[in-house]
Structure 1
Amino acid sequence: MDKNKIAVILSTEAEIKFSRELGLLEATTLGVGAMIGAGIFILSGMAAGIAGPAAIVSYVLCGMMTLFTALSYSELSSSIPLAGGGYTFVHQGLGGYIAFLCGWALIFGSVVACALYALGFAEHFNPLLNLVIKISPHIKFSAFAIALLLLLVNIKGTKESGKTQNFFTITKVAMLIIFIGLCIPHVKVGNFKPFAPFGLTGIISATALIYISFFGFELISSASEEIRKPKKTVPKAILLSLFIPMLIYVGVVLVSVGILDYQILGTSAAPLVLIAGKVLGSYGLLFVLIAGLLATISALNATVLAAARQTYAMGRDGYLPSKIFRLHPKFKTPYTAVAAVGVVILLFTLSGEVEFVAHLANFCYLFALILVNLSVIMMRKKEPRLKRPFKLPWHPIIPLLAIACNVLILAFMRPQTYLLGAGWLGLGSLVYLVYSKEQKETVEKHRRLKEILQRQERKEYKILVPVANPGTLGMLMMTACAIAKKFDGEVIGLSVVEVPHRTPLRKGLADFSQQRLLLSRAENIARQERVKFDKLIKLSHRLSYGILETAEEEDCNFIIMGRSKPEKTLEKILTTVMDIVLKEAPCNVAIVCGEKMDQVKRIIITATDNVNSQLAAELSPALVEKFKADLLLVHAIPKDSGLEEETQAKAWIDSFTERANLKVRGERKILKAEKPAEAIAGQIQEGDLLLMGESKGGTLEQLLFTSVPEEVEEQISQPIIVFKKFQPRERSWPERIIAGKKIRIK
């Protein structure tokens, strides 16, 4: 990726958030609206054909089995109120490939469910149209049209979608209650015999078909980022959205099998329409058709919302293309995610196969829910101190029971469902290996870079100090503690034990008494300075890699280390290699040169036109305060410069102090010299500490030429600290050749 593009991403990309416009009523109707749809208006007849009158038991059993998973969702939603629902929970608990498969299954399950609801709408819309104006368009055309309309509504925004959802859900619940009341007088006890003609197998098989009728709570958690007070609202909405539909389901199925023979019900894609036509007359038929339209359209609306949010969440986490998680500039909705899932929804509506679509959606949902319940168990272990406003009782019994129930339902599905579901998961695995895995790593790298830059701008320093030389230990710790104390940071002392290449790291385990002694001395210095301190020993095949890996693992954003003077050409080249690898560190770096820093009376800053010199100036107040020293800023200009150039140089050094936000007063001096290094070295006296910015360029320059800080270092014996400010960049080809292995940012 182009380095300028990376810089733009890190510096200008704003955090994306949804507007929280959904309250308890909207959240509950979101779940209830998704549940009371095709599951009762279409699948109830098919369930009766599979289980007989015992379909009543199937609905009760399905509700009770789903309760275990709903409780798991309640805990996770209250503690992780982010868009994405089950996928987000698995991403937090299990991560990686497993999280991708969960999201992949949930998206497909929601997309297929949308097609089911669109087809259910058409099964009620066409008879109504024929009853009113004697026109009956093709089922697929009506399904396609309503799906397209609801996609546009969700692009417009959740506020409009939420209002629409409230109206549809409340109206259809009221209409179903009226329907139950009107049908009760027509129930015949004889229709309940035989109650379970197909035994337990029929009951569980019907449960496997209607499971989609109880999945609305997932949609609530998927929209958590749009719900007000999600930690309290979401668990309440989940449980309400489970119990309200279950009571209505039982009532509807009870009057259905009590009025019509279960075999007749099993042949109809609109069983409630048959019942209304038999016992409620033409007005009752019209009533049920309207109720069916409201039920399927609200379920479709809610599930489109969930599918888009799940897709958005995966795009946000880097598993899908970045365009997926773009929000509309006006409506603040994930319109690209809605459009992406919309295309697939429209394609499935053209299949026209209701039962096939229902089984496929159930397979995807059940697979994902098994992973969600596993995540509850893992999150309790990984994050025991995580705040859980709703805490699951009898852990881990409930999530284990939920997993067992889901596996049982999967066992009673048709063989072709396994094949299609496994094919979809296999396709997802291929997508993950070919695209998503690398894309995820890239997004995570950019995210970490952005976080590091933000922390550095706020000067929230977590400083890593590699210690190896007892002679430089004091200087390193004094520098680190001064900066940490000034900016309320912390210090980590690190001792890296190098293990020969091709030798297992465990072979390096030995007596670490020398390393422990150095770290104890470092800890004593930090304790005296009243700075938070931690210490680590790391085994590595290369010193520089050990330092960088520890910086990444501990989220350090500043490395301070010592360097001795390279005298021989080979030593210089090896030092340069070390410097190149250190430039892979995603943080600021300071190199301390010298051995004594206990009698500092004056601090000198070389002011040059680069960000490294500016960083030195920004951090100088910490050292001035530590040593109670005077401050001198020097700026070198050509020896033959005239009065005008000197005046311009004085103005420039004033602007330099402003850019560095340097509020410590100090002397300013302009140096005229042919060789800046000699002029700077000439200013150094006993008791001085020199702060400089790194001036090296590319790898060839590092190998062939000496930098100004190195030239100064060769001419003086006083201590020098060379600063390098982190900036995102791409490595050049010489760096890749010399540095070898690329250090990835985790």
Structure 2
Amino acid sequence: MDNELKRSLGVSDAVVVGLGAMVGAGIFAALGPAARAAGGGLLAALAVAALVAYCNARSSALLAARYPASGGTYVYGRERLGPFWGYLAGWAFVVGKTASCAAMALTVGAYAWPGRQHAVAVAAVVALTAASYGGVQKSARIARLIVAAVLAVLAGVVVVCLTSGAADSGALAGGDWGGVAGLLQGAGLLFFAFAGYARITTLGEEVRDPRRTIPRAVPLALGIALLVYAAVAMAALSVLGSHGLAASAAPLADAVGAAGRPGLSPVVRAGAALAALGSLLALVLGVSRTALAMARDGHLPRALAAVHPRHQVPHRAELAVGAVVAVLAATADLRGAIGFSSFGVLVYYAIANASAWTLGSGVKDRAVAAVGLSGCVVLACTLPLTSAVSGAAVLALGVLVYGVRGRFRSGV
């Protein structure tokens, strides 16, 4: 059929796509705000974020193995909970992650050329949309190169900090704790650095042998990301401490400076821009595939369900996503884009865990789904009020559209 995608990704490709989304700008930017919230509890906050991410990843992997089609939780919610919940998940994902795309593009601009942040952001969106248009295998190869470069930069940061005379093991647990509320807020901020594993499940229709590949790729990508984040957080804390980390706008660049290697700061900044490019590429892939699935079911214009006959990608959906993201990147504020996306992402994963609960695959898997669902709700409650209100308003708009369309179809 002309609207089906080609299965061309193996385990390593899927892991790289997930890492490209996770090991992105979040680790370069989220440590400072998380340290301000959690204080000396930063590593504990990282552990909480990792626990919720693992539960979400486990639930997503089980569902993806059962339903190996593009769309992620949009498909899972539809099949397990009903059409409305699938639609709500898809709407939350498309809206939230489109804002995330804009945030990543703006991060590229902020690091690469602060004085021309918006112009660079738009150029990045155009370039990576063109790259994803060329086929998912090409995108996976680009992601592989980006992940390798970013991991090399992060490894350099860890080695420089931990081997410097400024390193202090006591700083790892030093500083005032932000209390339970601060720890959860820090976990909420750090959680979104893990959220890229969803890119693997949304590419389910392009993965070879998805029933085996996805359950292997998701926890592997998540485990690698956790090890990287823990090492980087410990390295930064060892030279800056929680107070210094909290006060820093560019924590990893400041960390290498505090370690006595200020000449490496430009390299770290370049790595941050490259990491954001990797996240942006993976996000464009994921959002366009969910848009494809929703268009197939008529929740978005059916023209977006077209698959390019040569490149075997949802080219119209990719172009539409790229156009919207380019507009947001030209006009939006970075903090606003990140805050807005957070609410939608947590709603998306909450529905994923609720869907996994219905699989009846065992007490352990149900317990994981329950913890994941509870974790998403708790972390959502730590978001700033403006982010929660704006996110809820946009989701309500989507629900209204769904209801109006349903009444129109039924002729009421």
Q: TM-score, normalised by structure 1?
A: 0.53
Match of 1:177 in 2: 155
Given residue 395 of structure 2, which amino acid in structure 1 is its aligned partner?
Answer: L
Tell me the alpha carbon deviations over residues 329-355 of structure 1, each in whole angstroms, 9 at most, x when there is no partner: 321211111122222212332355333
Tell me the alpha carbon deviations over residues 510-554 of structure 1, each in whole angstroms, 9 at most, x when there is no partner: xxxxxxxxxxxxxxxxxxxxxxxxxxxxxxxxxxxxxxxxxxxxx
Given residue 168 of structure 1, which amino acid in structure 2 is its aligned partner?
Answer: I
Match of 1:472 in 2: none
- Cα distance in 2, alignment partners of residues 296 and 392 from structure 1: 38
Matched, 1:87 2:67: no
Tell me the alpha carbon deviations over residues 247-279 of structure 1, each in whole angstroms, 9 at most, x when there is no partner: 111111111122124344334442212222333
**Alignment counterpart, residue 236 of structure 2, candidates 247, 256, 268:** 256
Quote the offset at 1:358 in angstroms. 2.2
Match of 1:197 in 2: 177
Match of 1:416 in 2: 386
Mapping of residues 171-250 of structure 1, within 5 Å: 171-186=149-164, 187-192=167-172, 194-250=174-230
Matched, 1:348 2:318: no
Given residue 302 of structure 1, which amino acid in structure 2 is its aligned partner?
Answer: A
Match of 1:24 in 2: 11
**Alignment counterpart, residue 281 of structure 1, candidates 251, 258, 261:** 261
- Cα distance in 2, alignment partners of residues 190 and 203 from structure 1: 19
**Alignment counterpart, residue 427 of structure 1, candidates 393, 397, 401:** 397
Matched, 1:62 2:49: yes
Tell me the alpha carbon deviations over residues 6-54 of structure 1, each in whole angstroms, 9 at most, x when there is no partner: xxxxxxxx45211112111110011111011121011111111221232
Given residue 343 of structure 2, which amino acid in structure 1 is its aligned partner?
Answer: F
- Cα distance in 2, alignment partners of residues 299 and 269 from structure 1: 20
Q: 1:360, 1:420 within 8 Å by CA — same for their partners in 2?
A: yes
Given residue 53 of structure 2, which amino acid in structure 1 is its aligned partner?
Answer: T
Q: 1:69, 1:399 within 8 Å by CA — same for their partners in 2?
A: yes
Quote the offset at 1:396 in angstroms. 2.1
Tell me the alpha carbon deviations over residues 651-670 of structure 1, each in whole angstroms, 9 at most, x when there is no partner: xxxxxxxxxxxxxxxxxxxx
Quote the offset at 1:243 in angstroms. 0.9
Tell me the alpha carbon deviations over residues 574-629 of structure 1, each in whole angstroms, 9 at most, x when there is no partner: xxxxxxxxxxxxxxxxxxxxxxxxxxxxxxxxxxxxxxxxxxxxxxxxxxxxxxxx
Quote the offset at 1:99 in angstroms. 1.4
- Cα distance in 1, alignment partners of residues 126 and 160 from structure 2: 35
Tell me the alpha carbon deviations over residues 373-399 of structure 1, each in whole angstroms, 9 at most, x when there is no partner: 11122344xxxxxxxxxx566142221
Q: 2:110, 2:117 within 8 Å by CA — same for their partners in 1?
A: yes
Matched, 1:271 2:251: yes
Q: 1:119, 1:139 within 8 Å by CA — same for their partners in 2?
A: yes
Mapping of residues 288-687 of structure 1, within 5 Å: 288-351=268-331, 353-380=333-360, 394-435=364-405
Match of 1:48 in 2: 35
Match of 2:119 in 1: 141
Name the larger-Rg structure: 1
- Cα distance in 2, alignment partners of residues 109 and 167 from structure 1: 27
Matched, 1:110 2:88: no
Matched, 1:167 2:167: no
Q: 1:41, 1:271 within 8 Å by CA — same for their partners in 2?
A: yes
- Cα distance in 2, alignment partners of residues 207 and 219 from structure 1: 21
Q: 1:101, 1:425 within 8 Å by CA — same for their partners in 2?
A: yes
- Cα distance in 2, alignment partners of residues 278 and 165 from structure 1: 31
- Cα distance in 2, alignment partners of residues 29 and 437 from structure 1: 43
**Alignment counterpart, residue 38 of structure 1, candidates 25, 41, 46:** 25
1:61–1:351 distance in 2 versus 1, CA, 3 Å: farther
Q: 2:2, 2:309 within 8 Å by CA — same for their partners in 1?
A: no
Q: 2:25, 2:273 within 8 Å by CA — same for their partners in 1?
A: no
Quote the offset at 1:437 in angstroms. 6.8
Secondary structure at 2:163 match in 1:
helix
Given residue 198 of structure 1, which amino acid in structure 2 is its aligned partner?
Answer: G
- Cα distance in 2, alignment partners of residues 290 and 63 from structure 1: 26
- Cα distance in 2, alignment partners of residues 332 and 395 from structure 1: 35
**Alignment counterpart, residue 74 of structure 1, candidates 61, 73, 76:** 61
- Cα distance in 2, alignment partners of residues 392 and 214 from structure 1: 26
Q: Compare relative contact order (CA 8 Å, sep 6+) and give the higher one, 1 or 2.
A: 2
Structure 1, unpaired ranges of 5+: 1-13, 127-135, 381-390, 442-741
Tell me the alpha carbon deviations over residues 299-324 of structure 1, each in whole angstroms, 9 at most, x when there is no partner: 11001100000111100122111101
1:255–1:437 distance in 2 versus 1, CA, 3 Å: farther
Given residue 85 of structure 2, which amino acid in structure 1 is its aligned partner?
Answer: I
- Cα distance in 2, alignment partners of residues 84 and 425 from structure 1: 18
Say which is worse superposed, 271-280 or 241-250, in terms of deviation. 271-280
Given residue 426 of structure 1, which amino acid in structure 2 is its aligned partner?
Answer: A
Secondary structure at 1:138 match in 2:
helix
Given residue 362 of structure 1, which amino acid in structure 2 is its aligned partner?
Answer: S
1:203–1:351 distance in 2 versus 1, CA, 3 Å: farther
- Cα distance in 2, alignment partners of residues 277 and 437 from structure 1: 61
- Cα distance in 2, alignment partners of residues 377 and 197 from structure 1: 34
- Cα distance in 2, alignment partners of residues 434 and 343 from structure 1: 26
- Cα distance in 2, alignment partners of residues 437 and 246 from structure 1: 46
Tell me the alpha carbon deviations over residues 82-102 of structure 1, each in whole angstroms, 9 at most, x when there is no partner: 001111111111122221111
Between Structure 1 and Structure 2, which shows a larger proportion of strand residues?
A: 1
Q: 1:176, 1:252 within 8 Å by CA — same for their partners in 2?
A: yes
Secondary structure at 1:394 match in 2:
helix
1:23–1:283 distance in 2 versus 1, CA, 3 Å: farther
Secondary structure at 1:116 match in 2:
helix
Secondary structure at 2:39 match in 1:
helix
Q: Using the aligned pairs only, state the percent identity.
A: 27
Q: 2:78, 2:84 within 8 Å by CA — same for their partners in 1?
A: no
Given residue 36 of structure 2, which amino acid in structure 1 is its aligned partner?
Answer: G
